[in-house]
Amino acid sequence: MQYDALWYGSQFSIGGITINGSTDTNGCDWILTKEDGWFGSPAVKAIRNDKPASRGVFRGVEYRGARVIVLEGTLSAPSVATLQNAIDTLSAVCPDPKSLYPLTVTSANSARYINVALDAPITTTPISWQSVAFSLQLMAPDLRKLDNSLTTLSTGLTTAGTGGVSYPVTYPVNYGTPGSGGSLVVTNTGTADADMTFTLAGALTTPTITRADTGDTLTYNATLSSTDSVVINTNTGAVTQGGINRRALLTANNWFSIPAQSSITIQFRSGSPGDTGTLTVSYRNTWY
C-alpha cells in the first residue's frame, strides 16, 4: 500500500466525510491508504500529427485536461450499525449529477479546494464485521485548486486633490491633500491564473474596469442608480444586475485574470463626475 498523502499530513473532506482526520462524531475512523491526482498534474490533451515527409510531428496547443482524484482507504466503526450508516454517507457523496461539490484538502501549511463530480462507482470491500476498504474516484473539470480564503478589496472612484502650494510661498509649505481612489492592486500568490468577481455598486455611468499594464477593459454600458448592483464573473463570463442576465450590456469584454505569482493594478472609472459608486474585487489564490 502507498501512504503518500499521509506523508504530507493531509486531510481530504467532502460530503460530510473527513479522510485522515480525527475520529468523527459517530466514532468512525477514515484512514487514507492511497491517493492519486491531487499532488501532481493532470494528463495533457496532446494534439500531434506526424510530419509525412520530415522528422517529428506537428504540435498543437497542449492544454491540461481534467483532474481525476482517487482516494482509497479504510473505514472502521464501533458497531455494525454505525458502519452501515457511514457507508450510506459515503455512497451519497456528490449526489446531484448536474452539480459540482467542493473537495477540501487541508495540509500543514495550506487549505485549498477544488470542485468535483463523481467519476466512477464508489466501492466498499469488507475487511471485518466493523471495517471496510473503500475507493472514491472524483473528477474536477477545472483542474485548478483554490485557496479556502477569499480575498476581497474595494475602491471608490478617483477623488480630486485639495489645496496645494500658494504663492508667495510661506513656511512650512502646505502641499495640500492628494487625490485618492480609482484603483487597487490585486496579488495572486498561486501558480495558476486567478479569476475574479467584480461587483459594481451605486451611482455609475458606463463604468469601466481596466487592467493598467495591458489596457484590457470591461465596460458596462448602462447607468446605475444608487441602489443598483452588477456582478461580473471573469471565470464564467456571467454578467448579472439584480440577478438578471445583462451580458449584452458588457460592450467591451477584454477579459483578464491575475497572472500566477503576480500583482496587477486595476483602474476603475465612470462617465459622470458626480458618480459615487464603488468597485469590489473578490478572488482566491489559485494553483495547478
30-34, 38-42, 283-287: least confidently modelled range: 38-42
Tell me the CA distances in angstroms from 208 to 119, 163, 233, one per residue in order: 41, 29, 15
pLDDT digits (tens, 9 = 90+) for 3-35: 454 455 899 999 999 999 999 999 999 999 999
Q: CATH 2.40.30.200 region(s) of the chain?
A: 4-143
pLDDT digits (tens, 9 = 90+) for 149-201: 999 999 999 754 334 445 565 555 454 333 345 999 999 999 999 999 999 99
The pLDDT mean for the chain works out to 90
Grade residue 275 by pLDDT with cuts at 50, 70 and 90.
very high
| Mean pLDDT (whole number) for 79-105 | 98
pLDDT digits (tens, 9 = 90+) for 200-243: 999 999 999 999 999 999 999 999 999 999 999 999 999 999 99
C-alpha cell at 212: 493598467
Residue 51 has pLDDT above 70, yes or no: yes
| Mean pLDDT (whole number) for 99-111 | 94
Q: How far apart are CA 189 and CA 286, in angstroms?
A: 7
Q: CATH 2.60.120.860 region(s) of the chain?
A: 151-287
> With 0-12 CB in 10 A as exposed, 13-18 as middle and 19+ as buried, what is 230?
buried
- Percent pLDDT > 70 in the chain is 89
Higher model confidence: residue 43 or residue 95? Answer: 95
At 260 the pLDDT is: 98
Domain formed by 151-287, architecture: Sandwich (2.60)
| Mean pLDDT (whole number) for 63-87 | 96
- Tell me yes or no: is domain 4-143 CATH 3.40.50.300: no
